[in-house]
Amino acid sequence: MAKTGGVLEVVPTTSVPNSAELKKELQRLVNAILDGEDFSLEITDEAIRLLTALKELKFEKSSDSLKLVDDTVLPDEFKCPISRKLMADPVVLATGQTYDRPSILQWLSTGHQTCPRTQQVLSHTVLTPNHLVREIITRWCKKHGLELPKPFGYSDDNFVAYADGDHLNSLLEKMCSSLSDQKEAARELRLLTRTMPSVRALFGESSDAIPKLLCPLSLGRVDSHPDLQEDLITTILNLSIHDNNKQLVAENPLAIPLLIESLKSGTIETRSNAAAALFTLSGPDSNKISIGKAGALKPLIDLLEEGHTLAMKDAASAIFNLCIILENKGRAVHEGAVRVILKKIMDGILVDELLAILAMLATHQKAVEDMKELGAVGCLLSIIREGSSERNKENCAAILYTICLNDRTTWREIRDEENANHTISKLAENGTSRARRKANGILERLDRAALLLHTA
């Protein structure tokens, strides 16, 4: 650009090496426009062109930056092995492998206890910041004009759950301290084990974690402090969700007895959560046996009979799971389960769940005797006749079939129902495959009985 005869001449720019030159030229044009009262349209057009060129250059630089962080250009050692993205907050796992914090936290939060890259079982879940890798990545980003992504912002709860387990240990130490410390720690442990799967997993890394947790509770006076009892029993429930903890909890000599005692006393939430914990812990067959032998069925049946809405379903679930084992069926029957269950069914309470338990117990001879004495046949026939649930009709048919096999004195009542309403015949035609099979078996028994009677 040059002055000729007092007129500002615009010199067309054929190339734009960099933004600095563009800005310098633009500044001169702007000054000329501002200082001169008379300026040509060419100067304005040129200023506009330079602004457009600056915009395009900025866009190209931005695009280049995006390309630099593309997977094809980003050095492999800067990528998280899980997400394959640039690590903003690299941390070292127990195996010595480095991951981006949010990615490894997500891995641990799903209950994994292995290193994603090596598949080694982790000795601990301490996450140590990798300052060296972080510094190298920072320098590389600056060199290429990139802004390093901000480190993952995690909450205090996340820090407690994942950082190093030290906080968990400090909470467990408080379990043997003053009552106020116990209550404070128990409340926090309840929250952490509910919301953080990795905290549940951490309990399996220490053989004394469960004993420390249960330290404030003692048999015979488990409900001395109902709020503390509720928090600790609920924590046991939360821990039992993690598969690796089921055996750990069940093998502790105090855990099952304390849960059983908590079925009998404490807040209704404590009793309900104790039942839920027994249900969850009873997954492995070995635990079913030990829980049954410890005497859990009687208080579970009593809790069911009491009829608290909050607790009945948990109690029923635990009873069902425990009675998958043959010896527990006998225990449940001898503890009066048939009477309690039939009463609830007749009252229309938890019919679906309780019919499933009754169908399981029906293979026990004493259960058949109890059902006959308590009027179960008429109740079951009415459910088949009037009910809408195919599953319930199926369970009723299975129970009636077992009763028919073991007690001929019930045949007359079933035959009378069949003659009056064709209840069993309709089920044999329209029920589920299992219901049809059982219904046909009942009809065969009735036909055989009629034939014997006719022959006699």
Per-residue pLDDT reduced to its tens digit, 197-245? 878 888 888 889 999 999 999 998 899 999 999 999 999 999 999 988 9
Low-confidence ranges of the chain (pLDDT < 70): 1-19, 33-42, 44-45, 52, 54-72, 111, 149-164, 450-456
Q: Residue 184's pLDDT is what?
A: 93
Give the pair of three-digit tokens for residue 424.
């069993």
Q: Residue 59's pLDDT is what?
A: 46
What burial class does residue 241 get, using C-beta atoms within 10 Å of its C-beta: 0-12 exposed, 13-18 middle, 19+ buried? middle
Q: Residue 456's pLDDT is what?
A: 43
CB-CB contact of 240 with 282 (8 Å): no
CA–CA gap between residue 82 and residue 110 (Å, rounded): 14
Q: Residue 128's pLDDT is what?
A: 81
**99 — phi, psi (to 5°)?**
-135, 160
**106 — phi, psi (to 5°)?**
-65, -40
413 alpha-carbon distance from chain centroid: 48
Measuring CA to CA, which residue among 376, 330, 323, 320 is closest to residue 353? Answer: 320
**121 — phi, psi (to 5°)?**
-70, 135
Measuring CA to CA, which residue among 207, 170, 211 is closest to residue 189? Answer: 170
List CB contacts of 7: < 8 A, sequence separation 6 or more. Answer: 40
CA–CA gap between residue 345 and residue 327 (Å, rounded): 24
CA–CA gap between residue 362 and residue 330 (Å, rounded): 10
Give the count of alpha carbons within 13 A of 448, CB side only. Answer: 10
CB-CB contact of 407 with 368 (8 Å): yes
CA–CA gap between residue 408 and residue 418 (Å, rounded): 16
Is this structure's pTM higher than 0.85? no
